[in-house]
Structure 1
Amino acid sequence: MRRIRPTLAALTGALLTLPAPAAQATAAHAADIIIIDGFTQTVKESAGTPVTCPTNQVLLGRSHRGDENGDTTYYCGLILIDGQQVRVGPPRWSISQRESDSFFVAPPNEVLVGRQHSGDENGQTRYATARLTAGGRTVELTSYRWSPSQTESNSHSKAGDYEVMTGRQHSGDENGQTRYQYARITD
């Protein structure tokens, strides 16, 4: 479980730089964000099995071992903001692209919720994205970052604290490099 709470120093700094009414509003609502590890699924990726996180869960990570006949594990999780479960919209699948030269990022303020790949590095890959809402408003994402590159055949990457997966890039075969994009949940 990951939890974010503003530090006293951060709140004090924010209060000193805001006008009095805004400072009171900020102090009154410092969101409590929790991301809980959830569903995990391992598949033989080359079989073309689409993997989609269960209802109201998002992708947090992925690992792969071996060539296209190796195992791929997907890690999903659910998000709570102020004790309320974040709603994940219906998945929208991207168009397919060749895996050996693939680059995909979700639209702004959307997260990855699924992936499908068929065949080897010349096969096709597509991604499912979704919007997040809490209390009837869109959950915003900030601080987008890319993970370091790693060899696909021995790869493991998982979101950091308060982060969700938003993209992936891969080049070559199983000995090629893969990296992931993550973004931070905000209230």
Structure 2
Amino acid sequence: MLKKSLTAALAASAVAALTLVPAGPAAAAAIEIRPGQVSTLKQSNSKFICPTNEVLIGRGHRGDENGDTTFHCGRIYIDNVQVTVLKLDIWGTVTDENNHNYHSPANEAITGIRHDGDENGDTIYYSGALYWQGKPVQITPRQTDVWVRENNHASLAGTNQVMTGRRHTGDENGWTQYEYGWISYSG
């Protein structure tokens, strides 16, 4: 009988000890997007790809198809460790520049843009999936920015956002709209 009482008392103590030390909430991951490469080139017959482990966080354009386009890349860090960008989309997604609405696949950011010819040429988008310490990083939610005139604009992502889409209609005097998504990591 003493053995049963002792076992029951130990079990009760163990349960009590577990309830005395409640688990605290998991600390949220610290996300930061640091500026990366910025490049300006002529729009017609151009190809821009962000450097390794960088994604687009902004784009601007001045003038017609022979005008300058500026690309802004960024490096994503979670808890001060850089996110890896896996670029599997080596061929890109082809769209008509003068009328398109491109969205990168779920949890992928735009990593580069190529443009062939004038406003009637093709625009090709490249994207990449994001991983932190081997685990996927989410890009959610996504939000569309306001329409801007293509021939005189600059657009940059907000805090902890990356570029996930672009919509354009018309020639260089037409309208452009960007889609940005928030970086999140749930472990």
State the SS of the aligned residue for 1:39. Answer: strand
Q: Whose Rg is larger?
A: 2
Partner of residue 100, structure 1: 98
Q: Which stretches in structure 2 are left out of the alignment for 5+ residues?
A: 1-18
Per-residue deviation, residues 7-32 of structure 1 (Å, max 9, x unmatched): xxxxxxxxxxxxx9xx946x332111
User: Equivalents in 1 of 2:53, 2:119: separation in Å?
Assistant: 31
Instruction: Provide the identity percentage.
Output: 45
1:108-147 equivalences in 2 (<5 Å): 108-147=106-145
Partner of residue 42, structure 1: 40
Partner of residue 56, structure 1: 53
User: Equivalents in 2 of 1:185, 1:79: separation in Å?
Assistant: 9
State the SS of the aligned residue for 2:46. Answer: coil
Partner of residue 6, structure 1: none
Change in Cα spacing, 1:165 to 1:24, as seen in structure 2 (3 Å) is farther
Count of paired positions: 164
Contact between 1:91 and 1:113, CA under 8 Å: does it hold in 2? no
Shift of 1:136: 1.1
Partner of residue 181, structure 2: 183
1:5-24 equivalences in 2 (<5 Å): 24=23
* AA at the equivalent of 2:37: F
Shift of 1:95: 3.2
Per-residue deviation, residues 118-143 of structure 1 (Å, max 9, x unmatched): 22110110000000000211001112
Contact between 1:94 and 1:128, CA under 8 Å: does it hold in 2? yes
User: Equivalents in 1 of 2:23, 2:140: separation in Å?
Assistant: 24
Partner of residue 3, structure 1: none
Partner of residue 8, structure 1: none
User: Equivalents in 2 of 1:159, 1:83: separation in Å?
Assistant: 20
User: Equivalents in 2 of 1:114, 1:132: separation in Å?
Assistant: 15
Shift of 1:91: 4.7
* AA at the equivalent of 2:56: L
User: Equivalents in 2 of 1:175, 1:83: separation in Å?
Assistant: 42
Q: In angstroms, what is the RMSD of aligned CA positions? A: 1.5
* AA at the equivalent of 1:87: T
Partner of residue 84, structure 1: 81
* AA at the equivalent of 2:141: S
TM-score (norm 2): 0.84
* AA at the equivalent of 1:125: T
Runs of 4+ in 1 over 6 A off after TM superposition: none
Q: Which stretches in structure 1 are left out of the alignment for 5+ residues?
A: 1-19
Contact between 2:56 and 2:110, CA under 8 Å: does it hold in 1? yes
Shift of 1:179: 0.3
